[in-house]
């Protein structure tokens, strides 16, 4: 896999973006509970994985 393949692969960007959104939302809930923080990170990763699967299905 060349470096141009890595930068053109949008699925990894979707997973990373979902994770960052989850961390950002998690910092808001961090004062309430640590479990909300962890849950928001997991939801962000899950959302990124769903978007990545939709992107890869559209490219086929």
Question: Which residues make Cβ contacts (< 8 Å) with residue 45, sequence separation at least 6?
Answer: 15, 18, 19, 22
Whether 45 is covered by a domain: the verdict is yes
Is residue 4 situated within a structural domain?
no
Burial tier of 4 (Cβ tally within 10 Å: 0-12, 13-18, 19+): exposed
pLDDT in tens, 9-21: 788 888 889 999 9
Residue 51 falls inside a structural domain: yes
Q: How many domains does the chain have?
A: 1
In a domain, 33, yes or no: yes
Domain extent, residue 51, equals 19-59
**For residue 9, is it within any domain?**
no
- Is 41 within a domain? yes
Q: What's the pLDDT tens digit per position in 22-50?
A: 999 999 999 999 999 999 999 999 999 99
Does residue 13 belong to any structural domain of this protein? no
Give the torsion through C-alpha atoms of 37, 40, 41, 45, to 10 deg: 170
Entry pTM: 0.77
Q: Is residue 40 part of a domain?
A: yes
């Amino acid at each position: 896999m060349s470096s141009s393949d890595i930068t053109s692969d949008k699925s990894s960007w979707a997973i990373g973006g979902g994770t960052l959104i989850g961390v950002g939302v998690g910092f808001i809930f961090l004062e309430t509970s640590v479990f909300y923080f962890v849950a928001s990170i997991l939801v962000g990763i899950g959302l990124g994985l769903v978007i990545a699967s939709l992107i890869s299905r559209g490219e086929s």
